């Protein structure tokens, strides 16, 4: 009987030990999985993309219309770029002319690159214009001398001689073509327009690590653009930034000596606080809070730079302009859509509440991310025109 008792105790001990080991393995496995997800997400945020998903199916094309699968982008009214054939083809599409539960037919305004004849998929973009030549305005290709080398830019002069300049700063994963939509209204108001590139955007010289710093270093290239404007006759400057370009502009006006010549700032779908934006994007992928916090830690810690590929960590606290709202002194026009889908409007609204003395908030509701001009160009231009008139 005693031997049987010892045997039962031994079996029970092995079961408990095995269960503990199994539970430990599960916990360890879950921790490893969470860590891998955090690393992949963090690296994706700061690595310039080489491919973009083509999430819209092309169902039919004729001389004046294109029929597409119904998505949030394809069903939003307005006029847009439509990239296809892995970005080798480019078309411009206009308003919706018909739709069903699964499809939408839009105006086909023109095909600038490639052929839609055999294309099957594509993606929407807010660019619309590919060059200042599309605007039928005079322009020059110029070079901005940055600390990394010469960065290409477009200079579009005002109709009449002027010392007022607008500097346009594009967002993450796009190029200066994004800023072309701002040229007509600023020229009408007497501004020279300087549309710039910055490090790691595919046009300007890149850094050794080929990583975005979310505005934490890109502002230096905007500083170089401001100095270029001042060296070429600028007496006053308006900075305009889209998305991450908004974060970059906000860093430029709080960290750059030439910012004393900035009269005001226009922000379109801006990242005002990267912590808020990254939490939002993580929640969109249903990532638990612990993983989202891990992503923030990876991006901002010196020990993790070997994992993320960054040369230096990102100072996320410095990039939080809601918390630093008291440091702002320039008039700001802030345009943001509540259905942005990428950068939530919450931080923009918080900045408007924190600084109602300098922030004019123009609220959109169905325009998506960086596509406010595309959705309602008259309203977008009107908001900028009225704000410039009050400067």
How does pLDDT run across 233-282, given as a tens digit for each residue? 999 999 999 999 999 999 999 999 999 999 999 999 999 999 999 999 99
In whole numbers, what is the pLDDT of the chain averaged over residues? 93
Tokens of 371: 């596509």
Which candidate, 83, 224, 80, 205, places its Cα nearest to that of 146?
224
pLDDT digits (tens, 9 = 90+) for 110-130: 999 999 999 999 999 999 999
Query: What pTM, to 2 d.p., does this model score?
Result: 0.92
As a whole number, mean pLDDT of residues 207-220 equals 98
Asked if pLDDT for residue 26 goes beyond 60, the answer is no
Residue 56 backbone dihedrals phi, psi, to 5 degrees: -115, 130
- What pairs with residue 218 in β-bridges? none
**What number of residues does the chain have?**
391
Asked if pLDDT for residue 22 goes beyond 50, the answer is no
Asked if pLDDT for residue 367 goes beyond 90, the answer is yes
Asked if pLDDT for residue 31 goes beyond 90, the answer is no
List domains and CATH numbers for the chain.
Answer: 56-125 (2.40.30), 132-273+319-390 (3.40.50.1820)
As a whole number, mean pLDDT of residues 142-147 equals 98
Pairing of strands 56-61, 121-125: antiparallel
Query: 386 CB contacts (<8 Å, ≥6 apart)?
Result: none
| pLDDT score of 11 | 43
**Tokens 């977008």, residue?**
380
| pLDDT score of 17 | 45
As a whole number, mean pLDDT of residues 27-34 equals 71
- What pairs with residue 142 in β-bridges? 153
Which one has a higher pLDDT value, 28 or 197? 197
| pLDDT over 90, % of the chain | 90
The pLDDT-based confidence of 29 (bands split at 50, 70, 90) is low
**Tokens 């031994």, residue?**
10
| pLDDT score of 28 | 62
- Rounded to an integer, what distance in angstroms lies between the CA atom of residue 319 and that of residue 294? 18
Which one has a higher pLDDT value, 125 or 32? 125
Maximum pairwise Cα distance, the chain:
107
| pLDDT score of 20 | 43
Answer yes or no: are the C-beta atoms of 178 and 242 closer than 8 Å: yes
176-195 in b/e burial notation, b at 16+ Cβ within 10 A? bbbbbbbbbbbbebebbbbb
Tokens of 158: 């005002």
The three-state DSSP-derived secondary structure of the chain is: CHHHHHHHHHHHHHHHHHHHHHHHHHHHHHHHHHHHHHHHHHHHHHCCCCCCCCCEEEEEECCCEEEEECCCCCCCCCCEEEEECCCCEEEEEEEEEEECCCEEEEEEEEEEECCCCCCCEEEEECCCCCCHHHHCCCCEEEEEEECCEEEEEEEECCCCCCCEEEEEECCCCCCHHHHHHHHHHHHHCCCEEEEECCCCCCCCCCCCCCCCCCCCCCHHHHHHHHHHHHHCCCCEEEEEEECHHHHHHHHHHHHCHHHHHEEEEEEECCCCCHHHHHHHHHHHCCCCHHHHHHHHHHHHCHHHHHHHCCCCCCCCCCCCCCCCHHHCCCCEEEEEECCCCCCCCHHHHHHHHHCCCCEEEEEECCCCCCCHHHHCHHHHHHHHHHHHHHC
| pLDDT score of 39 | 95
């Amino acid at each position: 009987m005693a031997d049987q008792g010892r045997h039962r105790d031994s079996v029970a001990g092995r079961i408990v030990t095995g269960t503990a080991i199994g539970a430990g393995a599960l916990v360890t496995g879950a921790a490893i999985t969470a860590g891998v997800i955090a690393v992949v997400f963090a690296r994706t945020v700061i690595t310039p993309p080489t491919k973009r998903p083509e999430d819209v199916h092309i169902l039919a094309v004729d001389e004046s219309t294109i029929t597409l699968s119904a998505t949030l982008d394809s069903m939003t009214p307005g006029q847009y770029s439509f990239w296809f054939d892995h970005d080798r083809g480019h078309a411009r599409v206009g308003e919706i002319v018909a739709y069903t539960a699964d499809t939408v037919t839009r105006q086909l305004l023109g095909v600038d690159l490639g052929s839609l004849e055999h294309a099957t998929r594509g993606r929407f973009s807010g660019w619309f214009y590919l060059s200042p030549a599309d605007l039928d305005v005079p322009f020059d290709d110029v070079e901005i001398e940055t600390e990394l080398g010469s960065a290409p830019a477009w200079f579009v002069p005002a109709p009449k001689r002027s010392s007022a300049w607008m500097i346009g700063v594009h967002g993450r994963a796009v190029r200066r073509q994004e800023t072309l939509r701002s040229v007509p209204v600023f020229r009408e108001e007497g501004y020279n327009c300087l549309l710039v590139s910055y490090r790691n955007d595919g046009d300007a010289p890149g850094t050794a690590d080929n990583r975005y710093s979310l505005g934490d270093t890109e502002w230096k290239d905007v500083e170089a653009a401001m100095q270029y404007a001042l060296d070429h006759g600028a007496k006053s400057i308006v900075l305009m930034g889209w998305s991450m370009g908004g974060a970059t502009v906000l860093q430029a006006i709080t960290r750059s000596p030439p910012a004393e010549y900035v009269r005001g700032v226009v922000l379109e779908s801006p990242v005002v606080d990267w912590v808020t934006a990254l939490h939002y994007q993580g929640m969109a992928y249903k990532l638990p809070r612990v993983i989202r916090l891990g992503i923030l830690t990876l991006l901002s810690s010196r020990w993790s730079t070997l994992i993320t590929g960054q040369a230096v960590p990102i100072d996320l606290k410095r990039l939080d302009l809601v918390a630093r709202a008291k440091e702002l002194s320039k008039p700001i026009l802030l345009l943001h859509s509540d259905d942005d889908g990428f950068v939530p409007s919450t931080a923009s609204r918080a900045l408007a509440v924190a600084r109602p003395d300098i922030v004019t908030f123009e609220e959109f509701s169905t325009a998506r991310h960086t596509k406010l001009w595309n959705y309602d160009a008259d309203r977008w231009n009107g908001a900028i025109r009225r704000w410039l008139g009050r400067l």
